[in-house]
Amino acid sequence: MNYALPEWLDIGPVEQLPALGARTLPVQGGDEIAIFRTATGKIYALVNKCPHKAGPLSQGIVHDTTVTCPLHNWRISLVTGKALGDDAGCVPTISVKIVGGRIMLARAEALAGAQVDVA
């Protein structure tokens, strides 16, 4: 039988993320993803690697729609993944939608960095 893979991955309820909080999602063979919740309840997902020296953005401080990297304080846009201010660089973002109170990630974007064997 041939099952179509879902376009969106259900990664759990929105309530699992406190406001201004983050969690991580491992990707087998790829880059870990960081999922953030802002003070206003918006959810964003980025590869969990600062564009400067790969600091874990999930451990940074969220304010408005930015996260401050815990290593050297670069500010990264949660919307675009771009470094702000005088800093340059960009981390991939993953599209998110909320369906029935659950967080859904765009499958292809979430697995973009993974080496997936499709035999």
Interface residues with ligand FES (CB under 6 A) are 50, 52-53, 55, 69, 71-72, 74
Burial of residue 23, with CB atoms counted within 10 A of its CB: 0-12 exposed, 13-18 middle, 19 or more buried: middle
Q: Which is nearer to ligand FES, 65 or 95 (CB)?
A: 65
Shortest Å distance, C-beta 96 to ligand FES? 22
Shortest Å distance, C-beta 69 to ligand FES? 3
Shortest Å distance, C-beta 80 to ligand FES? 16
